[in-house]
Copies of this chain bind each other. A is one copy, B any other.
Amino acid sequence: MSDISALWNARSVAVIGASERPGALGRKPMDYLLRYGYKGRILPVNPRSEQILGVPAYPSVRDVPGPVDLALIMVAADRVLGAVDDCVAAGVPLAVIASSGFAETGEEGARLQAEVVARARAGNMRVIGPNCIGAVGYENRVMATFSPLFGAEEVPFEPGSLAFVSQSGALGFGAASLALERGLRPGWVVSTGNDADVTALEVLRELSQEPSVSGLLGYLEDAPDIGTLRALAGSGKPVALLKSGRTEAGGRAAASHTGALATDDRVLDAALRQLGIVRVDDIDELLDVARVFESERRPAGNRVAVVTTSGGSGILAADAIEAEGLELSTLEPQSKEALAGIVPAFGAIDNPVDITATVLSDPTLFDRSLDVLIADDSVDIIVACFCVMAGPDVEKAVTSLAKAAEKGGKPILVARTGADFLAPDAPRDLREAGLPEYPTPARALRAAAALWEVSRPRTALPEASVGAGTTGPLPGATEPELKRLLADAGVAVPRGRTVTGPDDAVRAVEELGGSAVFKAVVPGLLHKTEAGGVEVGVTADGAALAYARIAALGGDVLAEEVVGDGVELIVGVHSSDLGPVLTAGLGGIFTEILDDVAHRLLPLRPGEGAEMLAELRGAKVLAGTRGRPGVDVAAAADVLHRVAELVQDWPQGFSLDLNPVRVLSQGAVVLDAALTGPAATASAEATVEATAVPAAGGAR
């Protein structure tokens, strides 16, 4: 048993601050542990009581005989340090500190919180919280929480396979109550509050290792740790996260709530997509996605067939398929033939398949149509839509669906647009048949898209070594130095060299074919063009004068060949909360006005460079359009991969800009390169002489 898994595996739970007083928060976990039948040892701690609700109490956790797997601390903030010391002394491996009055209240609270964590760590104890509402591991009835949810008269709780971890306790247990109301079965609900030691993400990672967990849901406010995120994704279990503070306004509110800083939201989006983690925008969506995570069926592709009893639902489903980036399956000819023999003449045998309300008089219509779709190799996911239908009709439809579902391994989702009062048993019957149910086609298709997102085949993400290395260019490496590194990495740069004086400038222009670009090489001068540090179209005649003008800026002068026309990209590698991020976009208005860039965490997987370029809104510019020929997209993608590999061993915190990278009809050339950021450890590679940059395209 890991330390954290005591949240659901503890064989003994101490409740520090337990109380018998009706209405007291300290009474609730006692009530719940007793009411829900916790089978381990319940250990109330209260110096003023001999027993609590009939259970023998202890003055301190130090007095408890035998091991304490989990302590729930519910005393006032000023007594938490003492309780932590007691737990450490008693050898408790994990404490949940429910008490509030810590970092969420300001600086003083933050200092107290830091001290709590320091003492716990010194004592080898992990801490959940503070400022949380506790945790429930329902399989073993570990009810270490004071949430009012479990005090309701009837709580429709039953052990299930979903795990839900929320930084916000109120929102987390609120969402959990909605989940129960909607017939979902969360078996684990954990709130982590201020995440002072153990984070919500760590708890999710731990839960992903539990064999009986089928899907993981999280609500996060703090920026996630990339290592934990990778490990979570690596578990192979489906994960959906609601990360708030997405917008600027939300970010501000998050900062004032728990001291969390909003990470760069777009980078997080990209990272989650890379990792195959679903990101949702609302609690409702989280619960809708959770419903497909209860089943272990996975689609082999994104082609959806719709079978509907109402034309209206069919159209809405088709709309939603397109909106969600799924594909409306084109049925095989033999399927249409078969359907033509099943579906009434006024129905539709093209996807969406409309079996019409005739299903009311002939319930086998559902079975038979579903059989056809299950056998059709062009169908990966089936969505069955039906509208207002009353009791027995719904039962028949559900029986049909359940029969069909047993036959094939394809996921079948149900959109039943009708009230439960028309068919009170339908939700239970559908649940028992393993058929996730939604009230509208749009919601079913959103869940189908999430299911595809977590099922899509991905090559394993390489271990991140970026930022861990110690080699790399010197801080303030110059353009020629960087270009030499790029060339060594197989990235094309313009042919050229530094020139040593007016006469050498003339010679250089002649070597470069009679026309050249002259550029200032001045450490720290980032905006060369604006400073007059770039002259294009320099001929032998003008070379001496151009040299003089640029040398006057105080540095070296670089002469480079003129590179032909093409499409310009900007490429960069920058630091983020999640690690180094590769960014690529088209130059000009695409980045300046439209913010049209793609991000990927490093390292890149094979194929991700091309994927990045394809997801740009301006991708058509690269592919060619309206009389303009396309450029060498493969070469551009290759640059991304080589740059990603090049920086792999560079130390943390640098910022590399390749702007522009010109993509030609054949090849792609980095025209300019600049590095900013903290000092790197000196390395042999960085001290290259900048006099022998190889020819464009030569090294690839």
- Chain A positions near chain B (C-beta within 8 angstroms): 100-101, 104-106, 109, 147-149, 151-156, 166-168, 170-178, 180-181, 219, 221, 242, 244-250, 252-254, 256-258, 281-284, 309-316, 318-323, 328, 345-346, 348, 350, 352, 354, 357, 387-391, 393, 417-422, 439-443, 589-590, 592-594, 617-618, 620-621, 625-626
Contacts and interface: CB of A to CB of B under 8 A. Distances in A.
Question: What copy number does this chain have within its complex?
Answer: 2
Contacts of A348: 253, 256-257
A589 B621 CA distance: 8
A387 B316 contact: no
Contact of A247 (B101, B104, B322, B621): B322
- Centre residue among A389, A440, A626 by max chain B CB count within 10 A: A440
Contacts of A310: 168, 170-171, 174
Given A174-B388, A387-B170, A442-B281, A252 B418 contact: no
A526 to B, nearest CB: 15
5 contacts: A104-B311, A106-B345, A257-B348, A281-B319, A281-B323
B419 A178 contact: yes
Given A246-B319, A249-B322, A593-B618, A175 B281 contact: no
Contacts of A281: 319, 323, 442
A560 to B, nearest CB: 25
A166 B315 CA distance: 14
Contact of A257 (B314, B418, B617): B314
Contacts of A419: 149, 177-178, 180-181
A129 B504 CA distance: 88
A175 B152 CA distance: 31
Given A148-B390, A181-B419, A316 B618 contact: no
Nearest to A358: B100
A250 B315 contact: yes
Given A152-B422, A178-B418, A589-B621, 8 more contacts: A101-B346, A109-B346, A149-B419, A152-B391, A154-B421, A168-B312, A171-B313, A589-B589
Given A178-B419, A419-B181, A313 B250 contact: no
Contact of A417 (B283, B312, B350): B283
B152 A390 contact: yes
A382 to B, nearest CB: 16
Contact of A177 (B219, B357, B388): B388
A421 B284 contact: no
Contact of A166 (B244, B248, B312, B323): B312
Report the 6 A-B pairs with minimum CB-CB distance, sorted nearest first. A168-B312, A174-B387, A171-B312, A250-B319, A247-B322, A170-B310
A253 to B, nearest CB: 4
Nearest to A175: B417
Contacts of A388: 147-149, 170, 173-174, 176-177
A194 to B, nearest CB: 11
B156 A284 contact: no
Contacts of A257: 311-312, 314-315, 348, 354
A688 to B, nearest CB: 34
Contacts of A350: 256
Nearest to A280: B442
A471 to B, nearest CB: 36
A443 B592 CA distance: 34
A104 B346 contact: yes
B104 A315 contact: no
A617 B319 CA distance: 24
A181 B625 CA distance: 52
A148 to B, nearest CB: 4
A136 to B, nearest CB: 13
